[in-house]
Structures are given as C-alpha cells and as structure tokens.
C-alpha cells in the first residue's frame, strides 16, 4: 500500500491520496494522470493493467488501486 501511495504522490504531489475517495468521480485525476499511474504501477509491481481494468471503481481511491494491484498479481 505504501508503494502505491508513493507512486500516486509522485504523480500528483498536491493531492492527499490517503483521504480522497473519489479521485475519478470528482475529476481529481485526468486521463494523463491515469496513464502515468498505470505505467508506474506496471513497472513497480511487474503487472500489466489493461484497458478493461480502467473502471472508476478501480481508481477512485488508493485502497481500490491497491486492491486492483493485488488482484492483478494473483490472477494476472
């Protein structure tokens, strides 16, 4: 989880990712940020997030992103 927060903070330093719960719904992350986050996660965790996983419920908060990473690691 710490690693996910680090990646997110590196991309948008001005956002409190531990607190925000609607990163997509409130428009805090734009499509450029999403691409950066996905690239960062893929590199850091050696996973391959595909377009099919780009759902708001997977990116609305840090916890959900962490769950997605865990799921990708387990099920590919």
Partner 1 sequence: MNLLSLSFFCFLLMLLACYYLMPHRYRWIVLLAGSYLFYAASSLRSVPLLLFTTVWTYAAARKLGAYNRVIREELKQIDKSLRKEKKEAINRKKKRIVAVTLVVNVSVLFFFKTSYLWKEAPLLLPLGISFYTFQTIGYLIDVYRAQIEPEQNLLHYALFASYFPQIIQGPIHRYRQLVPQLFGERRFSLREIKLGFWLFLWGMFKKIVISERAAIFVSHVLGSDLQETPGAMLLLGVFVFNLQLYTDFSGGIDMVSGISQMFGITLAENFRRPFFARTLGEYWHRWHITLGTWIKDYVFYPIAMSRTFGRLGKKAKDRFGNHIGRTLPAGITSVITFILIGLWHDVTGYYFLYGIWHGMLMALSNLCEPLFQRFRTCFQVRTECLSYRWMQRLRTFMIVTVGEYFSLATGMAALGIMFRQTLLHFEYSSLFLGILNYGLDGKDWLVLAAGVLVLVCISMKQESGVRIREALERQNLYFQWLMVLGVILVTAVFGVYGPGYDASAFIYGGF
| Contacts with partner 1, residue ranges (CB under 8 A) | 10-11, 27, 30-32, 34-36, 38-40, 42, 49-52, 54-55
Instruction: Select 29 or 62, whichever has its Cβ closest to partner 1.
Output: 29
Using the minimum distance from each CB to partner 1, give the nearer residue, 27 or 74. 27
Which residues does 56 contact at the CB level (< 8 Å), separation at least 6?
A: 24, 25
Minimum Å gap between C-beta 21 and partner 1 is: 20
């Amino acid at each position: 989880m710490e690693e996910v927060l680090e990646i997110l903070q590196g991309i948008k330093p001005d956002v409190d990712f531990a607190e925000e719960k609607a990163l997509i719904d409130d428009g805090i992350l734009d499509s450029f940020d999403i691409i950066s986050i996905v690239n960062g996660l893929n590199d850091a965790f050696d996973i391959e997030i595909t377009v099919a996983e780009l759902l708001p419920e997977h990116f609305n908060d840090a916890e959900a992103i962490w769950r997605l990473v865990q799921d990708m690691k387990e099920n590919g």
